[in-house]
Structure 1
Amino acid sequence: MSDQVWKALDEVIADVVAPQAQPVDEQGAFPSEAVEALAEAGVLGATVPTAAGGMGFGLADAARIVDLLSQSCGSTAMVTMMHFAAVPVLAAHGPREIVDSIAAGRHLSTLAFSEAGSRSHFWAPVSTAAPAEDDRIVLDARKSWVTSAGHADSYVWSSRPLAADGPMTLWFVPAATTGVRVAGPFDGLGLRGNGSRPVHATQATIPRSAMLGADGTGLDLAMQLTLPWFLVLNAAFSVGLAEATVREAVSHLTTARLEHLDQTLADQPTVRRDIGLMRLHTDTARAMLSDTVTAVEAGRDEAGLRVLEVKAVAAETAIAVTDLAMKACGGAAFRKDLGIERRFRDARAARVMAPTTDQLTDFVARLSCGMPMLAGA
């Protein structure tokens, strides 16, 4: 079955994802056809654990999927990545019928952590959850930058706890919940089709049974189940962008010619230096991604540190590689048909996506100094 999924993924990328990448970017359109094709191919349900009725694809397989998608369309890769990041906590604590629907490819989920009030400090929600009649819960929130907003079937949602100690509680919130609405458009520099829009909840009522885990344990659940997948898959997204950029740049630089010298651009030493640096940066980030996945799956002592490091390293790598490609390819890279300027724009997103590169760098430093990762913890 897994071989069929990989074959189907290759076909979806070739037939749907790649051809639509440029129109998705130009129009700022959600890649609905690509997402539907991925669902039908079994890709969106592949990471549900076998114990929960899924195929049990692990972190390494998920990273490979996001990497391959990102090489063709950053927006489609980001939508898939956020869905994969939501699946572990839903598989462990979500409604069984929803998990079954995800496994069957009939349900797209995403994370709704970042908020207007606490911005990239996702670990400190200011949104609230309050008890109501009939064992119901009322949510009020101003969520920001929710990938797939208006297209996902559900959100893994954070709020302040109901009553327990702890920084936050997690909820399963169907997108169709009354009082939950998409509160604005997205017209971004890059990842223009990922539908990253604000979502507000105004007296939105959900059952108390929608709580994921226990009250007040949301940060622990996020750190254990969601954040490792989010950070590692975000790194795979950046590595895929860098890989595609190197491929596009080399293709152009080895065919474009200086006719008066009867040489290709790649025959120029300064251009070859840029190619070499792009390849070195990309391979270094890919090696770190591979080691991080191995560390997580083997339960190595430094796995937590690697998870924090890999997103920062890969994000900055994609920025460096796309910048080099723009320089090496010159005016041709500014044209949309080459695909480099789209990846140049898409690559900038990971740096500012919470936890940002600056935040991750501080987390790594704090842990290296024997301090708690989060101030005040």
Structure 2
Amino acid sequence: MLFELTEEELLIRDTARKMAAEIAAPLAPVLDRGEGRAQFLENLKAFAEAGFMAVNVKGEFGGTEAGTAAFALAIEELGYACAATGVTASVTNMVAEVIQAVGTEAQKRAYIPNIADGTYPAAGFCLTESGAGSDPAGMKTRARRDGADFVLDGEKIYITSAEYAGLFVVWAVTNPEAPKGKGISCFLVEAGTPGLSIGKAERKLGQHGSATNTVHFDGCRVPASALMGRLDDGFRIAVGELAGGRIGVAALSLGIARAAMDAAKTYVKERRQFGQAIADFQGIQWMVADRETELEAARLLILSAAAKKDRGEPFGREASMAKLFASEAAGRATDTALQLHGGAGYCADYPVERHVRDARITRIYEGTSEVQRLIIARDSFRQ
């Protein structure tokens, strides 16, 4: 099967690459130091105006309507330049897509354009809890009916972009008596809603430019119209959207890995030992060859999953395969890139040290590698 990119997909990839090189890449080391937030938000607005916050969303709602493959290509390029920018765009796209998939017409028209044009700097996906990470069906956040409203109580952890998200998709238990995973519903909650508060930013190993916070709900009242999809049917929505999000994480992983390997290849061609460039040593060449082969395999897995999604076919297994392989390949690639730099790679003067830290989380969020293996295995046994 050939994965020949369309002219539109190539245009989106090349535009993302150019913009990311011009505005995201120079800011990446600044963000890594915990600085540059104002410029980061300006950059997010610019990427939204260029169509990168709603790539796979219909034009009538302000989206680019370019498909999942284009989305993956864009996230890869953003991740190559700046992992924090890439993950912010990936999650924001995911929120726009879930609203398009299950929201009412009024919800779509009220919220998606604000995501697409950057009115909301980002959007948040509130699923994970302290006791419900790999097992989201075990969540404790509650939403009780009170007249014409729902009242939310609980908290979500590790929420990407929570500090500056304009909108949150929130999952909560609406029927505590239902079997596990059957009494969960999905809500849209705007930033600034009374009862919603954002905790302090987590101190993280990497991706410092991307805020990660706890989101608290304390008597947070939303109208019944904030319910998205059917009552008590939210867990099915979450599972479906996570699959699409895994394509984004896979693409982000690939972008980070490419950046690390490109830096390493440049370094080994310039660094000389024993009278020659270290790139001329066979051992170095084999290290590069192995990593480049894995990254090409990751790219094909990503495009395969994206193609199945765009054709309307089941793609969960393929998304898990792409996410598992790409994130673990990124771990090997960034580690190899650091090794190829020698002692210099361990110093913050070189970007590869940042790439190593940025890549590590990709094996955890949107479902750990272990969870991906469970999904793949269970689907394989059903065949």
CA distance in 1, matches of 2:51, 2:77: 16
Deviation, structure 1 residue 168: 1.7
Alpha carbons 1:322, 1:347 under 8 Å: kept: yes
Structure 2 residue aligned with 1:21, among 22, 28, 33? 28
Tell which deviates more after alignment, 147-156 or 4-13: 4-13
Alpha carbons 1:241, 1:318 under 8 Å: kept: yes
Alpha carbons 2:49, 2:116 under 8 Å: kept: no
Please say if 1:179 is aligned against 2:179. no
Alpha carbons 1:326, 1:341 under 8 Å: kept: yes
CA distance in 2, matches of 1:164, 1:83: 33
Deviation, structure 1 residue 5: 6.1
Please say if 1:193 is aligned against 2:205. no
Equivalent in the alignment of 1:114: 128
Equivalent in the alignment of 1:264: 277
Deviation, structure 1 residue 345: 0.5
CA distance in 2, matches of 1:9, 1:182: 31
- The TM-score normalised by the length of structure 2 is 0.89
Please say if 1:72 is aligned against 2:81. yes
Q: Which amino acid in structure 2 is aligned with residue 181 of structure 1?
A: S
Q: Which amino acid in structure 1 is aligned with residue 88 of structure 2?
A: V
Unaligned runs of 5+ in 2: 1-6
Please say if 1:170 is aligned against 2:186. yes
Equivalent in the alignment of 1:204: 220
CA distance in 2, matches of 1:322, 1:55: 32
Deviation, structure 1 residue 41: 2.4
CA distance in 2, matches of 1:217, 1:149: 24
Q: Which amino acid in structure 2 is aligned with residue 228 of structure 1?
A: A
Equivalent in the alignment of 1:32: 41
CA-to-aligned-CA distance 1:169-223 (integer Å, 9 cap, x gap) = 1110111111111122221001111101111111111111101101111122223
Equivalent in the alignment of 1:245: 260
Q: Quick one: structure 1 residues 39 and 204, their matched pair in 2 at CA, closer, same or farther if it must change by over 3 Å?
A: same
Deviation, structure 1 residue 354: 3.7
Alpha carbons 2:162, 2:215 under 8 Å: kept: yes
Alpha carbons 1:125, 1:167 under 8 Å: kept: no
CA-to-aligned-CA distance 1:332-353 (integer Å, 9 cap, x gap) = 1112232111110011101121
Structure 1 residue aligned with 2:58, among 49, 54, 58? 49
Q: Quick one: structure 1 residues 205 and 123, their matched pair in 2 at CA, closer, same or farther if it must change by over 3 Å?
A: same
Deviation, structure 1 residue 84: 0.8
CA distance in 1, matches of 2:11, 2:293: 33
After superposition, the CA RMSD in angstroms is: 2.2
Size of the aligned set, in residue pairs, is: 366
Q: Quick one: structure 1 residues 300 and 193, their matched pair in 2 at CA, closer, same or farther if it must change by over 3 Å?
A: same
Deviation, structure 1 residue 236: 0.3
- Map 1:1-377; keep pairs closer than 5 Å: 9-27=16-34, 30=37, 31-92=40-101, 93=103, 95=107, 96-107=109-120, 108-133=122-147, 135-162=148-175, 165=178, 166-224=182-240, 226-258=241-273, 261-300=274-313, 303-370=315-382
Q: Quick one: structure 1 residues 138 and 329, their matched pair in 2 at CA, closer, same or farther if it must change by over 3 Å?
A: same
Q: Quick one: structure 1 residues 164 and 61, their matched pair in 2 at CA, closer, same or farther if it must change by over 3 Å?
A: farther
Identity of aligned residues (%): 25
SS in structure 1 of the partner of residue 256 of structure 2: helix
CA distance in 2, matches of 1:325, 1:17: 21
Alpha carbons 1:163, 1:215 under 8 Å: kept: no
SS in structure 2 of the partner of residue 338 of structure 1: coil
Alpha carbons 1:39, 1:105 under 8 Å: kept: yes
